[in-house]
Structure 1
C-alpha cells in the first residue's frame, strides 16, 4: 500500500506531502489543476518513462519520495532480494531529477538503477486509464492475466519444456559429435591399427635409446679390448712370464737363493695377470652382441619416434593417445545406437510436453469462457449490455508457458467486427471495458495499489454510479486511487482530496488539500453545478454522499 508521497520542486508543485489510506482514495479538482502532475511524479519515483522536463522552473533539482507498506509476503521483497537490498516493513523510494537531466534513485537508502525501480513498480502499482499501455491494454500480458484468472499452475508445462529442451540439446550434441567423428573415421581406423601393431610402451623409447648407445659404444672399443686380451693370453704376456719363471727356476739352485724374491714376484704377477685376463674376458662377453639385434632395435626405436612426430605427442604418450583414439572409434561404432536412444528420449519428451500443453490449452479455453461470461455480467450495469468481450485462445509457437496466444478483443455493437480494446472502443467505452476487466481480474495481483486515471470519463448518471460502485468494490480488498471528474464516483470515496492551482506573485503552484465532510459537500456540489454552487447542488451532493 502507498502510504505517503512527498514531492519537492516538480513542475508546478513547490512542496507537497500526501498521506494515503487503505480503501478508495479519490482526487478531484478542476481541469488543469495538476492532478496529472501527481501521477507524473509518482511515475517518476517508480521509474516510469514520462516527461523529460520535470524540475520546477528556477529550482536546481526536483525530488519525489514514496513510502509503501510492505507485508511479509509481498512480491516486492523478492525484487529487493534479487537487487541485494534488505527488505523492511517500510519501503522507501526516493528519486532526484537534476536540472541538467541527470536522475539518481535510492531504495531504502541504497543507490539503484531505474530498472530496479521499474521492477518494483510492477509489483507495487498498477495504473489504468485511457492511455494505459503498461497494463490491461498490453496484449503481451493477456495470457498472464488469463492464467491468473484461471489459477493456472505452470510448473508442469515449464518442467516438460525444460526436459524437452535438454533432450533436444543432448541429441544435437550427439549428432554433431558423430558427424565430426565420421569425418575422420579413415584416419582413426588407420592410426589405431598402426599404433596397435607397434604397441609402444611407456619408457620404452628411453630404454631402446640407452641399449642402442651401449651397443654402438661396444662396437667401437671391442677390437682394442680383444687385442689387449691377446697380449695378455698364452700368445703374449702369459707365455713370456711362464718362460721366465721356468728359466729362473732352472737356475735357482745354482744362484744360492738370490732368485727366490724374483720367483715370488713372478708368481704374484701370474696371479694378477690371470685376474686381468678374466676381467678382460668378462668385458668382451658383455660387449658381445648380434648386429642383427642392433638393426632390429634401431628399427623399432626409429618407428616409435616417427609415430610420435606424426601425431605430435611425446613417445611416452603414444599409449594414452592410442587409448583416446580407441574411445573415439568406440563412440563412432556406438554412435548410431546412442543417437537412436536419444531420439526416442526426444520423442517421449515431446509427447510429455504435448500432453501438458494440451491440458493447459483446455484449461485456458475453459477460463476464457468463464471470463467472457463474467465480463458480460459486468458490462451490463455499465450501460454496455450490447458490447461483446471475447478472450481468444489461438495456437502459437510452443514455449515454457504452453503453445497458446491469448488476446482480449471487443465488439461494441452486434454484428460489428471485433478488434483490440484500444482500437475498437471509444474513450468512455474503453474506460468501462478496462474497469470491468479489472473487476473480473481483481484477484490476479494481490498487494498492488490500483490507480485509475479518469477512467470514468465520458460517462455520467447511473453509469457513473455503476463505475463508482465497482471501484468501491475493488477498494474493499485493496488500496485504490482514483482521479475523477465524476461526482458520483467521488461521493463513494472513503478518502477525498482536492487538487488546486494557485497563483501568487505571478508564480503558479499546485497543491492538494484533504477534505473533511463539509468540504466534501462543497467539492461534490461544485462538480455537479460548476463555478456557482447552488443550495440545490449542495442538497444533491449530500444525497450522493449519503449513498
Structure 2
C-alpha cells in the first residue's frame, strides 16, 4: 500500500509531500492543473519509462521518494530477496534525476538498478487507463490473470515440472543423436584408425624403449670389435696369462725370500680376481651387443610405425593408447546407438505423455475458470449499463511450454451479433473504461497489497453510468487501496479521501501542488465539478447529495 509521496523539483512541482490512505483516494482538478504530472513522478520513482525531461527548470536535480507498507507475504519480498535487500513492513523507494539526465535509485538506502526497481514496482502498483499497455490491455498477461483468478498455482507448478523433465529428456536425446550423427559421418575413418592402432597396439613409454634399443644396436656394430680385442687382451693370451706366469715364478722362489714376496703375491691374487671380473663384464657386454641382424630392422620398423601414427593423428607417441581408447568409445556410441536412442526416445515419449496429461488437466481447469470469469463479467457489466455487451475469454491452442499449451485472450463484443475482438480494438473510450473496471473487480482477489491507479477511467461516461463506475471503484477499494484521477463528480463523491490538484502562477514561475480537502472544501470541489467555475448554492446542495447518497 502506498503511504506517501515526496516530490522535489520535478517538472512544475517544487516541493510536495502527500500522505495516502487505504480505500478510495480521489484526485481532482482543472484540466492542465498537473494531475498527469503527479502520475509521471510516481512512475519515475517506480522505474517506469516516461518523460525524458523531468527536472524542474532552474534546479540541479529532481528527486522523488515513495514509501509503502508491506503486509506479510507480499510479493515484493521475493523481489527484494533476489536482489539481496532486507525489508520489514516498510519499503522506501528514492530516485534522483540530474539535469543532465543521469538517474540513480535506492531501495531502503541500497542503491539498485532500474531493472530491479521495475521488477519491484510490478508488485506494488498497477496503472489502468484508456491507453494502458502494462496491465489488462496487454494480451500477453491474460493467461496469467486467468490462472491467478482460478488459483492454479499448484497445477502450473506440476506442468512446469513435467515440462522441465520433458526438456531434459529431449536434450539428452538430441545430444545423443548429434553424437551418433557425428560418429556416422566419420565411421570409415574411425574403423580404419582403430584397426590401424590395434594392429600396432602401442604402449605408453614404448617409443623411448625402442629408440634406446635402436641406438644401442647401431652403436654395437662399431664398438663390438674393440670390446672383443679388449677381451683377448685381458685373457690367457694377454694380461691374465702374463700375471699368471709372474705369479707362478714368484711362488717358486717365495720360500727363499724370507717373506719379502708375500705382499706381492697377495696383490697379484687381487689382480687375477679383478681381471676375472673385467673379463666377465666384457663377456656380458658382448652378449648384450649380440643380436640377430634382422632385429635392428624390426625395431626400426616398429619405432617408425609408432612415430608415423603419432604424426598422423597429431598426438604424442605416449598418448596413442589413450587416443585409441577414445576412438573406440566413439565407435561404441555408434555400435550401441540403436539401443541407446530407443531408450532415450522412450524417455522422451514417457515425459511427453506426462506433460500432455498434466497440460490437458490444466487446460480443462482454465476452460472452467474462463466460463466462471465470463459469467462474473456479465454480472459486473450489467450495473455499468453494458448489459448487452459480451465478454468472452478465448482459449486457443498455443505453443507448448512450461505453463501448458494454451493461449488466452480476453475479447469483447459491445452488442449481440457484433464481432468479438481485443478489448482496446473493439470498445470505445467509455466502454473500454467500464470493461477494464469490471474485469479488475472480478480479478481483485489476486491483488492483495497492490495499489491500483485508475487514470480517468471514467472518461466518456456520466450520470448513472458514472455513479455505477464510482460504486465499483469503491467496492474494489474496500480490500485495498485505489487512487483514481477523475473529472466525474459522481466518482469523486464516493471517495474516502479527496485531494485537489492546483496550478499556481506568479510573474516568475508556474507550480503545481496538491491540497487535501476537508469536508467543506470537498463539497465545494464537487460543486465546481458539477457547475463549473461559478459555484452556486444549488451546486453545493447537489454535491452534498452525491456525497451522502
User: Could you state the TM-score of these two structures normalised by the residue count of structure 1?
Assistant: 0.91
- Hey, what's the Cα distance between the residues in 2 that align with 1:453 and 1:249? 136
Name 1:365's counterpart in structure 2.
Answer: 367
Aligned residues: 544
Q: Against the structure 1 CA distance between its residues 135 and 236, is the aligned structure 2 distance closer, same or farther, given a 3 Å change threshold?
A: closer
- Asked if the contact 2:240/2:275 (under 8 Å) is kept, the reply is no
- Please identify, of 74-83 and 296-305, the stretch whose mean Cα deviation from structure 2 is larger: 296-305
Encode CA deviations 1:476-530: one digit per residue, 9 max, x unaligned: 1101111112222112111111222223336332222211222222222222222
Match 1:165 to one of 164, 167, 179: 167
1:52-71 aligned within 5 A: 52-71=52-71
Name 2:19's counterpart in structure 1.
Answer: 19
- Hey, what's the Cα distance between the residues in 2 that align with 1:260 and 1:38? 132
Name 1:43's counterpart in structure 2.
Answer: 43
Secondary structure of 2:444's partner?
A: coil
Q: Against the structure 1 CA distance between its residues 241 and 531, is the aligned structure 2 distance closer, same or farther, given a 3 Å change threshold?
A: closer
Encode CA deviations 1:91-111: one digit per residue, 9 max, x unaligned: 222222333333332222223
- Asked if the contact 1:5/1:65 (under 8 Å) is kept, the reply is yes
**1:68 deviation in Å?**
1.1
- Hey, what's the Cα distance between the residues in 2 that align with 1:478 and 1:94? 23
Encode CA deviations 1:43-80: one digit per residue, 9 max, x unaligned: 12112222222333333332221111122322122222
Encode CA deviations 1:180-234: one digit per residue, 9 max, x unaligned: 1222222322332233333333333333333444444444333234334445555
- Hey, what's the Cα distance between the residues in 2 that align with 1:245 and 1:523? 146
1:344-493 aligned within 5 A: 344-493=346-495
Q: Against the structure 1 CA distance between its residues 267 and 463, is the aligned structure 2 distance closer, same or farther, given a 3 Å change threshold?
A: closer
**1:275 deviation in Å?**
5.9
Q: Against the structure 1 CA distance between its residues 519 and 286, is the aligned structure 2 distance closer, same or farther, given a 3 Å change threshold?
A: same
- Hey, what's the Cα distance between the residues in 2 that align with 1:109 and 1:245? 109
Name 2:311's counterpart in structure 1.
Answer: 309
Secondary structure of 2:33's partner?
A: coil
- Hey, what's the Cα distance between the residues in 1 that align with 2:24 and 2:246? 142
- Hey, what's the Cα distance between the residues in 1 that align with 2:455 and 2:142? 21
- Hey, what's the Cα distance between the residues in 2 that align with 1:13 and 1:329? 76
- Please identify, of 180-189 and 424-433, the stretch whose mean Cα deviation from structure 2 is larger: 180-189
Q: Tell me, which stretches of 5 or more residues in structure 1 are unaligned?
A: none
- Hey, what's the Cα distance between the residues in 2 that align with 1:56 and 1:132? 26
Secondary structure of 2:454's partner?
A: strand
- Hey, what's the Cα distance between the residues in 2 that align with 1:93 and 1:243? 116
Secondary structure of 2:446's partner?
A: coil
Name 2:31's counterpart in structure 1.
Answer: 31
Name 2:338's counterpart in structure 1.
Answer: 336
**1:295 deviation in Å?**
3.7
Q: Against the structure 1 CA distance between its residues 481 and 286, is the aligned structure 2 distance closer, same or farther, given a 3 Å change threshold?
A: same
- Hey, what's the Cα distance between the residues in 2 that align with 1:418 and 1:41? 37
- Hey, what's the Cα distance between the residues in 2 that align with 1:340 and 1:520? 77
- Hey, what's the Cα distance between the residues in 1 that align with 2:248 and 2:403? 118
Name 2:546's counterpart in structure 1.
Answer: 544
- Asked if the contact 1:248/1:259 (under 8 Å) is kept, the reply is no
**1:446 deviation in Å?**
2.0
Name 2:83's counterpart in structure 1.
Answer: 83
User: Could you state the TM-score of these two structures normalised by the residue count of structure 2?
Assistant: 0.90
**Structure 1 vs Structure 2 CA RMSD:** 3.0
**1:113 deviation in Å?**
2.7
Larger Rg computed on CA atoms: 1
- Hey, what's the Cα distance between the residues in 1 that align with 2:244 and 2:105? 117
